[in-house]
Amino acid sequence: MFETFKLNYKKKVLFEIFFVFLIFAIDRVSKSIILHLSKITGEFQMTLTSYLNLSLIWNRGIAFGFFSFETNLYYNLISFLIGAIILLIIIISKKSKGVEKISFLMIIGGALGNLFDRFYYKSVIDFIDFSFQNFHWFIFNVSDIFISLGVIILILLEFKKKNE
């Protein structure tokens, strides 16, 4: 019986690692494609629809370009703080189950994608540019989508818990 528990636990952990890696890989592939296309022209801008464009920007800030710093000290400090928050989320996720666990894994996978950029490129690659009439959203990336979805699901789960 203990062996079955151990085997199931290993499968569960392998699935969690695979899920985080899959999100990280989807982010890396999307950013690699944008970088490859930008090398051809020197920059990258592509109109997909009247409300969706691809526009490469290098984000040295936190979320959606907020708190962009020109000095490396602040940038590195924020990057290490983000790394510490990711570790904290990993610890919290170990105690979660079901949809809550998946939400945390989405946040972790997305956060690792952006953290990789911060250390490798010293900036996060953003390229999804959404606008509608006079409304223009911040330019973001695939990692941001997974982080946002994970956070939204966690918020909805909290509302559900409060209502029960």
Active site residues: 126, 144
- Give the pair of three-digit tokens for residue 130: 């959404």
Write the CA distances from 93 to 78, 96, 101, 107, 132, integer angstroms.
22, 5, 6, 10, 36
Distance CA 5, CA 122 (A): 43
